[in-house]
Amino acid sequence: MLLLRWQDVDFARGSMTFRSPKTEHHQGGDERTIPLFPVLRRALEEAREAAAPDAVYVVAGKMADKLRATAEAKGWQSISLGTLFVDRIYQAGLEPWPKPLHNMRASCETDLAQRYPLKDVVGWIGNTVGIAMRHYLMETDETFVRAVNDKMHGSGAGAESGATLVQNPVRTGLDRNGQDRTSSAEPVARGRVSPLVSGPVLYCPDVQVAKVGLEPTRLLGARF
């Protein structure tokens, strides 16, 4: 993101083009173009208005300039944005969650995969379907509740009768590894969205990614 320039943000088309030093040695991996999601567009429009007319980089300031200079001299592997991010969380008087950048990326990719074809999502995020399945995509309470209420795959008696369903916590690899996972016995009626589901795309607080893959990784070759 330190390489993102204002000329890479196309407000008219609704897209952003990222350059990726990490994957540039792969064919076609030097850059990728992603949609300018509404929540991100608003933030970038505000930043553009506040930026100097001749600003080159979206992320500006003395710290950003110093990091870019260090990366140019020593390589991007010498830059740890995760450490800086954790420092800022502590400075705000808050407690950081484990692997914050990885987990935010995982929750973002999970949210996107609920809405768009996975082939498109992995292109935007910058990984592959296999990597996404093994390390990023997570089970969600929203999907669990949808399955309980799905009349296409069962009698759907609860949904048809208008009965209130109690959401059961989904057992993920995270749970099996002994880590805590937020759960609730609050009823979830048909048509309501559980307060535990991920928020809008790119707004994904308090989410921890499981260390293991999801069930579908073992079913991709199955015949139904």
pLDDT of residue 78: 84
Question: What are the beta bridge partners of residue 83?
Answer: none
Residue 50 to residue 207: CA distance in whole angstroms: 31
Query: Based on the domain organization, do 148 and 211 belong to the same domain?
Result: yes
- Residue ending a domain, choose from 58, 79, 100: 79
**164 neighbors 187 (Cβ within 8 angstroms):** yes
Query: Based on the domain organization, do 122 and 184 belong to the same domain?
Result: yes
Is 93 among the domain residues? no
Structure tokens at 221: 């070759």
Query: Based on the domain organization, do 121 and 210 belong to the same domain?
Result: yes
Among 174, 188, 209, residue whose Cα is nearest residue 146: 188
Number of domains composing the chain: 2
pLDDT of residue 200: 44
pLDDT tens-digit readout, 65-78: 999 999 889 988 88
Query: Based on the domain organization, do 41 and 120 belong to the same domain?
Result: no
Query: Based on the domain organization, do 207 and 138 belong to the same domain?
Result: yes
Average pLDDT over residues 183-194: 40
Is 224 among the domain residues? no
Own/partner long-range contacts of 216-221 (Cβ < 8 Å, ≥24 apart): 216/133, 217/133, 217/134
- Residue ending a domain, choose from 79, 96, 124: 79
Is 90 among the domain residues? no
Domain that holds residue 5: 1-79
Query: Based on the domain organization, do 73 and 118 belong to the same domain?
Result: no
For residue 43, pLDDT over 60 is answered with: yes
Q: How much is the mean pLDDT over the chain?
A: 74
- Residue ending a domain, choose from 22, 57, 79: 79
Query: Based on the domain organization, do 207 and 124 belong to the same domain?
Result: yes
For residue 41, pLDDT over 70 is answered with: yes
For residue 44, pLDDT over 90 is answered with: yes
pLDDT of residue 221: 42
Is 104 among the domain residues? no
Among 65, 67, 69, residue whose Cα is nearest residue 57: 65
Query: Based on the domain organization, do 46 and 124 belong to the same domain?
Result: no
Residue 173 to residue 139: CA distance in whole angstroms: 9
| Least reliable range by pLDDT among 5-9, 42-46, 112-116 | 112-116
pLDDT of residue 131: 84
Is 105 among the domain residues? no
Is 100 among the domain residues? no
Residue 26 to residue 66: CA distance in whole angstroms: 28
Residue 118 to residue 136: CA distance in whole angstroms: 12
| Least reliable range by pLDDT among 18-27, 31-40, 91-100, 145-154 | 18-27
Query: Based on the domain organization, do 45 and 126 belong to the same domain?
Result: no
Query: Based on the domain organization, do 67 and 146 belong to the same domain?
Result: no
Is 26 among the domain residues? yes
pLDDT of residue 70: 92
pLDDT band at 218 (very low <50, low <70, confident <90, very high): very low
Query: Based on the domain organization, do 196 and 117 belong to the same domain?
Result: yes
Is 95 among the domain residues? no
**16 neighbors 10 (Cβ within 8 angstroms):** yes
